[in-house]
Chains A and B, each alone.
Chain A
Amino acid sequence: MTVASPPGGRETTAGPPPSRKLRKLAPYFRPYLGRTVMTVVLMLVVTAAVLAVPALAQVGIDDGIRAGDRMVLVVVVAAFVAVGAVGWAAGSYQTYLSSWVGQRVLLDLRTDTFRHLMRLQLGYHERTPTGRTVSRLTSDIEALNQLVTEGVTSLVINGLTLVGVVAILFAYDAQLALMAFLIFPPLAIGTAVFRTVSAKLYRRTRERVADVLASLQENLSGMRVVQSFGRQDEAAVAFRAVNQDYRRTHMASVRLSSAYFPSVEALSGVGTAIILYFGATRVLNADMTVGVMIAFFGYLSSFFDPIQQLSQLYDTFQAAMAALEKIFGVLETEPQLDDAPGAVPLPPIAGEVELRGLSFGYADEEVLHNVDLHVLPGETLALVGPTGAGKSTLAKLIARFYDPDAGDVRIDGHDLREITRDSLRAQLAIVPQEGHLFAGTMAENLAFGRPEATEAEVRAACDAVGALEMIEALPQGFDTEVGEGGARLSSGQRQLVALVRALVAQPRLLILDEATSSVDLRSEGLIEEAMHTLLAGRTAVVIAHRLSTIRNADRIAVVDGGRIVEQGTHDDLIRAGGHYADLYADWEASVA
Chain B
Amino acid sequence: MAVLLRLTTFLRPYRTQVILAALSAVGLMAAALTLPYLTRLVIDEVLQEGRRDLLWPIVGATLLLVLVRSVLTAVRRVLAGGVSLSVEVDLRARLFAHLQRLSLSYFDRMSVGQLMSRASNDLTTVRFFLGYGLVFLFTQAFTLVLVTGLMLLIDWQLALLSLAMGPALLAIAWVYTRRSSPVLLDVQQRAGEVAQMAEESAVGIRVVKAFGREDERSAAFGDTARRAFDRNIDAARLRARYQPAMAFVPVAGLAMVLLVGGLQTIDGRLTLGAFVQFYLYLTMLMAPFRSLGILVGNAQRAIAGGTRIFEVLDAQPEIAEVEGAHPVPAGGGRITFENVWFAYDGSPELLRGVDLDVPAGRTVALIGRTASGKTSLTQLIPRFYDPTAGRVLLDGADVRGLQLDPLRREVAAVTQEPFLFSASVRDNIAFGRPDADEQAVRRAARMARAEGFIDALPNGFDTVIGERGFTLSGGQRQRVAIARAILADPRVLILDEATASVDASTEREIHAALAAVMRGRTTLVIAHRLSTLALADELVVLEEGRVAARGTHAELFASSELYREIHDAGLARSELVGRES
Q: Nearest Cβ in chain B — how far from A264, in angstroms?
A: 9
Q: Is the CB of A545 within 8 A of B370?
A: no
B405: nearest chain-A partner, CB-CB: A230
Is B316 part of the binding interface, using a Cβ–Cβ cutoff of 8 Å? no
Contact with A along B515-538 (1 / 0, CB 8 A): 000000000000011110010000
Alpha-carbon gap, A214 to B451, bound state (A): 29
Q: Is the CB of B107 within 8 A of A223?
A: yes
Stretch touching chain B among A17-25, A520-528, A530-538: A520-528
Is B501 part of the binding interface, using a Cβ–Cβ cutoff of 8 Å? yes
Q: Which of A255-278 contact B (CB under 8 A)?
A: 255, 257-259, 261-263, 265-266, 268-270, 272-273, 276-277
Q: Could you say which residues of chain B place their CB within 8 Å of the CB of A401? A: 209
Count of B interface residues, CB-CB < 8 Å: 181
Q: Could you say which residues of chain B place their CB within 8 Å of the CB of A493? A: 370-371
Q: Which of B34-79 contact A (CB under 8 A)?
A: 35, 38-39, 42-43, 46-47, 50, 52, 55-56, 58-59, 62-63, 65-67, 69-71, 73-74, 77-78
Q: Is the CB of A230 within 8 A of B404?
A: yes
Q: Is the CB of B97 within 8 A of A439?
A: no
Q: Which of A111, A501, A583 contacts B225 (CB 8 A)?
A: A111
Is B29 part of the binding interface, using a Cβ–Cβ cutoff of 8 Å? no
Q: Is the CB of A270 within 8 A of B116?
A: no
Q: Is the CB of B423 within 8 A of A4?
A: yes
Q: Which of B95-148 contact A (CB under 8 A)?
A: 96-97, 99-101, 104, 107-109, 111-113, 115-117, 119-121
Q: Could you say which residues of chain A place their CB within 8 Å of the CB of B464? A: 4, 6-7
Alpha-carbon gap, A117 to B115, bound state (A): 23
A93: nearest chain-B partner, CB-CB: B240
Is A226 part of the binding interface, using a Cβ–Cβ cutoff of 8 Å? yes
Is B511 part of the binding interface, using a Cβ–Cβ cutoff of 8 Å? yes
Is A374 part of the binding interface, using a Cβ–Cβ cutoff of 8 Å? no
Alpha-carbon gap, A490 to B474, bound state (A): 19
Q: Is the CB of B107 within 8 A of A266?
A: no
Q: Is the CB of B370 within 8 A of A492?
A: yes
Q: Is the CB of A100 within 8 A of B580?
A: no
Q: Could you say which residues of chain A place their CB within 8 Å of the CB of B371? A: 470, 489-490, 492-493
A150: nearest chain-B partner, CB-CB: B294
B254: nearest chain-A partner, CB-CB: A80
Q: Could you say which residues of chain B place their CB within 8 Å of the CB of A84? A: 248, 251-252, 255
Q: Nearest Cβ in chain A — how far from B121, in angstroms?
A: 6
Q: Which of A77, A270, A386, A582 contacts B66 (CB 8 A)?
A: A270
Q: Is the CB of A587 within 8 A of B528?
A: no
Is B243 part of the binding interface, using a Cβ–Cβ cutoff of 8 Å? yes
Contact with A along B546-581 (1 / 0, CB 8 A): 000000000000000010011001111100100110
Q: Which of B346-403 contact A (CB under 8 A)?
A: 346-348, 368-371, 375, 382, 384
Q: Could you say which residues of chain A place their CB within 8 Å of the CB of B412? A: 228-229
Q: Nearest Cβ in chain A — how far from B376, in angstroms?
A: 8
Q: Is the CB of B408 within 8 A of A387?
A: no
Is A139 part of the binding interface, using a Cβ–Cβ cutoff of 8 Å? yes
Q: Could you say which residues of chain B place their CB within 8 Å of the CB of A385? A: 503
B433: nearest chain-A partner, CB-CB: A229
Q: Is the CB of A100 within 8 A of B236?
A: yes
Answer whether A65 and B266 are a contact pair too, CB < 8 Å, given A243-B93, A297-B39: yes
B239: nearest chain-A partner, CB-CB: A95
Q: Is the CB of A254 within 8 A of B225?
A: no
Q: Is the CB of B506 within 8 A of A92?
A: no
Alpha-carbon gap, A61 to B405, bound state (A): 78
Q: Nearest Cβ in chain A — how far from B149, in angstroms?
A: 22
B472: nearest chain-A partner, CB-CB: A388
Contact with B along A194-216 (1 / 0, CB 8 A): 00000000000000010011101
Stretch touching chain B among A128-136, A170-178, A351-359, A407-415: A128-136
Answer whether A545 and B502 are a contact pair too, CB < 8 Å, given A99-B236, A99-B240, A273-B66: yes
Q: Is the CB of A231 within 8 A of B422?
A: no
Q: Which of A103, A130, A219, A263 contacts B70 (CB 8 A)?
A: A263
Q: Nearest Cβ in chain A — how far from B571, in angstroms?
A: 7
Alpha-carbon gap, A45 to B524, bound state (A): 76
Is B203 part of the binding interface, using a Cβ–Cβ cutoff of 8 Å? yes
Q: Is the CB of A488 within 8 A of B70?
A: no
Q: Nearest Cβ in chain B — how far from A293, in angstroms?
A: 8
Answer whether A95 and B244 are a contact pair too, CB < 8 Å, given A488-B344, A548-B572: yes
Q: Is the CB of A519 within 8 A of B66?
A: no
B348: nearest chain-A partner, CB-CB: A473
Alpha-carbon gap, A228 to B385, bound state (A): 12
Q: Could you say which residues of chain B place their CB within 8 Å of the CB of A111? A: 218, 221-222, 225
Q: Is the CB of A517 within 8 A of B283?
A: no
A68, A426, A588: residue with the most chain B Cβ atoms closer than 10 Å: A588
Q: Nearest Cβ in chain B — how far from A58, in angstroms?
A: 11
Alpha-carbon gap, A386 to B214, bound state (A): 33
Q: Nearest Cβ in chain B — how far from A123, in angstroms?
A: 11
Is B30 part of the binding interface, using a Cβ–Cβ cutoff of 8 Å? no
Is A434 part of the binding interface, using a Cβ–Cβ cutoff of 8 Å? yes
Q: Which of A131, A217, A523 contacts B369 (CB 8 A)?
A: A523
Alpha-carbon gap, A425 to B209, bound state (A): 8
Is B191 part of the binding interface, using a Cβ–Cβ cutoff of 8 Å? yes
Q: Nearest Cβ in chain B — how far from A453, in angstroms?
A: 12
Count of A interface residues, CB-CB < 8 Å: 183
Answer whether A229 and B432 are a contact pair too, CB < 8 Å, given A221-B419, A251-B82: yes
Answer whether A387 and B421 are a contact pair too, CB < 8 Å, given A269-B62, A277-B59, A587-B531: no
Is A64 part of the binding interface, using a Cβ–Cβ cutoff of 8 Å? yes
Q: Is the CB of B207 within 8 A of A432?
A: yes
Q: Which of A227-267 contact B (CB under 8 A)?
A: 227-232, 234-236, 239-240, 243-244, 246-247, 250-251, 254-255, 257-259, 261-263, 265-266
Q: Is the CB of B66 within 8 A of A276?
A: no
Q: Is the CB of B416 within 8 A of A491?
A: yes
Answer whether A4 and B120 are a contact pair too, CB < 8 Å, given A65-B272, A76-B258, A258-B77: no
Q: Could you say which residues of chain B place their CB within 8 Å of the CB of A230? A: 404-406, 408-409, 432
Q: Nearest Cβ in chain B — how far from A167, in angstroms?
A: 21
Is B434 part of the binding interface, using a Cβ–Cβ cutoff of 8 Å? yes
Q: Nearest Cβ in chain A — how far from B38, in angstroms?
A: 8
Answer whether A7 and B200 are a contact pair too, CB < 8 Å, given A88-B244, A92-B244, A273-B59: no
Q: Is the CB of A290 within 8 A of B47?
A: yes
Q: Could you say which residues of chain B place their CB within 8 Å of the CB of A65? A: 262, 265-266, 272, 275
Q: Is the CB of A484 within 8 A of B262?
A: no
Q: Could you say which residues of chain A place their CB within 8 Å of the CB of B473? A: 387-388
Q: Could you say which residues of chain A place their CB within 8 Å of the CB of B239? A: 95-96, 99
Q: Is the CB of B100 within 8 A of A236?
A: yes
Q: Could you say which residues of chain A place their CB within 8 Å of the CB of B255? A: 77, 80-81, 84
Is B241 part of the binding interface, using a Cβ–Cβ cutoff of 8 Å? yes
Answer whether A130 and B266 are a contact pair too, CB < 8 Å, given A261-B77, A269-B63: no
Q: Could you say which residues of chain B place their CB within 8 Å of the CB of A213? A: 116, 119-120
Is A85 part of the binding interface, using a Cβ–Cβ cutoff of 8 Å? yes
Q: Could you say which residues of chain A place their CB within 8 Å of the CB of B42? A: 276, 280
Stretch touching chain A among B155-163, B226-234, B334-342: B226-234
Q: Is the CB of A225 within 8 A of B431?
A: yes
Q: Is the CB of A448 within 8 A of B35?
A: no
Q: Is the CB of B508 within 8 A of A125?
A: no
Q: Is the CB of A80 within 8 A of B251?
A: yes
Answer whether A484 and B508 are a contact pair too, CB < 8 Å, given A277-B55, A432-B210: no
Name the 9 nearest CB pairs between A and B, nearest first: A425-B212, A269-B66, A99-B236, A84-B251, A230-B405, A254-B81, A492-B370, A91-B244, A96-B240
**Sampled A-B contacts (29; CB under 8 Å):** A1-B423, A2-B423, A2-B427, A7-B469, A70-B266, A74-B259, A80-B251, A85-B248, A87-B251, A91-B247, A111-B225, A130-B202, A131-B467, A134-B199, A216-B96, A219-B100, A223-B99, A232-B405, A243-B89, A255-B81, A258-B77, A269-B69, A269-B70, A272-B62, A294-B279, A436-B207, A473-B348, A475-B348, A484-B111
Given contacts A81-B252, A484-B196, 9 further A-B contacts (CB under 8 A): A87-B247, A87-B248, A96-B236, A214-B468, A230-B409, A269-B66, A488-B344, A520-B370, A583-B504
